[in-house]
Structure 1
Amino acid sequence: MFEVETDDGTFYAAEDEGERGDEGAFLVVYRTPDRETRYGWYCTNCESVDNAMDAMGTIVCNVCGNYRKPDEWDAAHE
């Protein structure tokens, strides 16, 4: 794990937990190093925690646009 400094404080990115994005991996970020409280995602492409995830599992970085496709696909939403 490594520390991630943000305006909201220090968080911890788990290098062994993540998802593949189209421009770089998204790593799970925790509030504390003991991994008890999950904070969100860390984009390895632009080193940001400013990301969004929807109910389908899509992750999008709000800074660089790195994108992870959803786990399940529902064609009715197209």
Structure 2
Amino acid sequence: MAVELDPVAAPGGETVYVDRDRAERGAKGPFYVAYATPDGTERWGFFCANCESADNAMDTMGRIECNVCGNIRKPDEWDAAHE
């Protein structure tokens, strides 16, 4: 069964395709996986469900932060030396 991906506007005027069945937990709401292609073959990044924005960033430790509302996902591995 094919997964339905929702087209949304991303920064720079491009369209990305959001899979609302695949999510990472955020402090204010989930971050959904977003794809660059409508068939879901090329991963693009994440979409913040709290403010409905694709304007976010991920660091090398896996922390995701929305640049619009401040929603944040903690890193996969945390080490006090990185703070």
Normalising by structure 2, what TM-score?
A: 0.86
User: What is the CA–CA distance in structure 2 between the aligned matches of 1:71 and 1:10, rounded to whole Å?
Assistant: 28
CA RMSD of aligned residues (A): 1.1
Uncovered stretches (5+) of structure 2, i.e. residues with no partner: none
Partner of 1:40: 45
TM superposition score normalised by structure 1? 0.91
Tell me what 1:57 maps to: 62
Identical-pair percentage: 59
Alignment of 1:1-78 (within 5 A): 1-6=5-10, 7-78=12-83
Structure (1/2) with the larger strand percentage: 1
1:44-72 deviations in Å (ceiling 9; x for gaps): 00000000000110000000000100000
Note the residue ranges of structure 1 that are not aligned, 5 or more in a row. none
Cα drift, residue 8 of structure 1? 2.5
Q: Does the aligned pair in 1 maintain the 2:53–2:68 contact within 8 Å?
A: yes
